[in-house]
Amino acid sequence: MDIWLIEKWQDYYKDHPCRSGLRVYYDKNVDPEVKRAIKECVAWLRREYVFPKRVRMYVKSNRRIKAKNGDMVCGTFFRPTDRDVEPYIRIATGDYLELFEQRGKDNALAAILQAMMHELSHYFQWLNDLDLTFIGEERQATNYSRRLMSLYAETRDHP
């Protein structure tokens, strides 16, 4: 079962029309190289996968984002309890230059893209109403983000 491909979501949304797609919004101070890499990756994701319920992704220039539990994290996914409400993702990219110095350009961009794919995996968990523990959700999202990064890496020389 590939959570990015299963269509359990059709049980609900076939009778509840909704907006679809993945939409991305950038803070004005997001590094241009990060913005370019995300745009290219999102274009690939849109070609390869269906986003049947609109999900908005906010790319922030902050180093970290405060999660609902107060933790400072790289990314968050808002999982609405009402399935008619659109979910959203926030991704922190403000540590790009620091990652660039530590890991190099490709690895720094890959870390940001992998965080994005991790949060998108949470979207597909929510969309398909998967019944997992918190730890199970995190492990699954981590595994899928790694697998997707491998698939994406096969399409290009650099992120």
26: its two tokens: 């950038």
Res 8: pLDDT? 83
Tokens of 35: 């913005």
Q: How far apart are CA 71 and CA 38, in angstroms?
A: 24
pLDDT at 130: 92
7, 51, 54, 130, 146 from 110: Cα distances, Å: 28, 22, 24, 27, 10
The domains of the chain, with CATH numbers, are 13-153 (3.40.390)
Whether the full predicted model's pTM is greater than 0.85, yes or no, is yes
14-53 pLDDT, tens digit each:
777 788 899 999 999 999 999 999 999 999 999 999 999 9
At 78-124, the pLDDT tens digits run 999 988 899 999 999 999 999 999 999 999 999 999 999 999 999 99
